[in-house]
Amino acid sequence: MKKILIGVLALIIVGGIYFATQYFKPHKNIETAKEDVSITAPNLFSAFSDNEAKANTDYLDKIILVSGEINEVTVDDSSNVNVYLNVGNDGFGSVSCNFSSEEGQKALNYKNGQVVKIKGVCTGFLMDVVLNKCVLVD
C-alpha cells in the first residue's frame, strides 16, 4: 500500500512539474522566429486535402511561411483581421491567416489579387487550412 501511495505521489509531482513548464513556457515571437516550413498556399491546401493525417504530421503546430494571392481580407467582431489566400479551387477552401488586431491593421492595406508572404502557426484543417498568430513578411 505504501508503494502505491509513493508511486501516485511521484506521478502527481512529475505531472505538476510538466504542467507548470508548459503553462509558463514563453510564447514564441512569430515575427522573429525562423519558419519550420516555407510553402505556397495551393501546395499547403493540397497537402491537407489529399492526406490530412500526413499533413498534420508535417505542418501542425509548426511555423509556416506561406506565399500566395489574397482572395479576401475580413475583420471579425473582435477586430481581428483574417486574410484568405487563393488555393486555385474555385472558392471551395483556402488558407486562412488570422492576425491579431494590431498586426492585422497592416494587412488591411492589402488588396484582393495581391501576392503576399505570411508567417503563422498552423493549427489544422477545417474547410480551410488555418494559420494563427500571423505576421506579414516583407
Residue 78 has what pLDDT? Answer: 81
Across the chain, what does the average pLDDT equal?
Answer: 87
Helices 41-50 and 52-59, axial angle in degrees (round to 10): 130
Residue 18's pLDDT is 72
Cα–Cα distance between 104 and 101 in angstroms, integer? 5
Identify the pLDDT of residue 4.
82
The confidence score (pLDDT) of residue 27 equals 62
C-alpha to C-alpha distance for 44 and 59, rounded to whole angstroms: 9
Give the architecture-level CATH label for domain 37-137: Beta Barrel (2.40)
The CA–CA distances, whole Å, from 121 to 26, 34, 66, 116, 134 equal: 15, 12, 10, 16, 7
pLDDT at 23: 61
Q: In angstroms, what CA-CA distances link 131 with 69, 104, 112? A: 15, 13, 19
**Interval 97-137: pLDDT, tens:** 999 767 788 888 889 999 999 999 999 998 999 999 999 99
Q: For the CA atoms of 66, 67, 73, 79, what is the dihedral angle to 10 degrees?
A: 40
At residue 53, the pLDDT reads 95
| Segments making up each domain of the chain, as ranges | 37-137
**Which positions of the chain have pLDDT values less than 70?**
19-28, 90-91, 101
Strand partners, 116: 68
